[in-house]
Each structure stands twice: as C-alpha cells, then as structure tokens.
Amino acid sequence: METTKTTEKFQSVHKTFSYTPKSALTNQWSSLAFGIGMVIVPLIYPFGLRIRRAVILSPEVLSTILIICGALLLLMTFFSIRKARVLAAQGGTITVDKGRVTYPEVAEFNLQMQQNSD
C-alpha cells in the first residue's frame, strides 16, 4: 500500500456557531430527576445498607448522605440552568477565525468573550 503526501494548504474559514440551546433545561433533565429522587426517596422510605447480617450504614446515616448529595446536585443544576439562561438572553456564539476561537463565558451574570488561539 502506497501513501501519498498532500501539500494542499487548508483555507482559513471564518465560522460562527450558536452556543445557546433553545431551552435552559435541555441538558439538565437527568440531573434534576436524580437530585429530586435522592432527596424525596430517603424522606419517604429511609433505608440502610447491610451485607447479610452486618449493618454497614444505618437508615438515618444513609438517608442523610443521600439528601445532602441530592441537594448539592440540585444546587449545581440550578447554577447550570442560570448560566444557560444568561447565555440565551445575551446571545452567546462561538466564533472560529484563522485559528482563533472566541467563546462566551458567564461570570456573575455577565457575558465575557474569551479567546483561545492555537
């Protein structure tokens, strides 16, 4: 099998991509479901962890751990949704121009454009 070298030069292309989804909840449904489930299920039906007769975690301890982790997951999901809403409101776009990529970044409800060059 013979390989050939190409000496073609790539053309620089200026492209713009939309960074914002149509809905702020688009990528957050599973995080919301797991977070709500991790809070609601232990409140309704507390359960423990045991192997045969050895109790590893009591129902109170495991329920507390699940509720705290679920609340943290819901908090992180809330921050992600808030960032998505800010990007959608201010029209965040990604721009590629001659090896430079400009992308939006949300910092305290302000949209800032960051540049990355190769």
Per-residue pLDDT of the chain (118 residues; tens, 9 = 90+): 555 665 555 555 556 666 666 676 777 888 899 999 999 999 998 888 888 888 888 889 999 999 999 999 999 998 888 877 777 776 666 677 766 766 666 666 555 555 555 5
Continuous segment of H or E residues that includes residue 70: helix 59-90
Which residues, 6+ apart, have CB-to-CB distance to 16 below 8 Å?
93, 94, 95, 96
Cα–Cα distance, 65 to 36 (Å, whole number): 14
Q: What tens digit of pLDDT does each residue of 25-51 get?
A: 777 888 899 999 999 999 998 888 888
